[in-house]
Amino acid sequence: MVIKILGGGCANCKRLYANVEEAAKQLGLDVTLEKVEDYPSIMKYGVMSTPALVVDEELKVAGRVPSVDEIKAMLQG
């Protein structure tokens, strides 16, 4: 599973990264976690507001930081 955190490196982007790490750890998932910080690449996903979460090339959420439990539900679904 490839998970991408889209954003310029702001505090919310870092919080989303940490939440994703924790969710994957709690679920025992082996994931590849990538940061995408360049805006042309972020725009390719149609994201206008960061941070954003992409799981296996599917945009899951943008413009907010979901909780660890929300992320766990996304990763299990």
**Would you please indicate which residues are annotated as catalytic (active-site) residues?**
10, 13
For the beta carbon of residue 42, count every other beta carbon within 10 angstroms. 21
User: What does the radius of gyration of the chain's CA atoms come to, in whole angstroms?
Assistant: 11
CA–CA distance, 12 with 3 (Å, rounded to integer)? 16
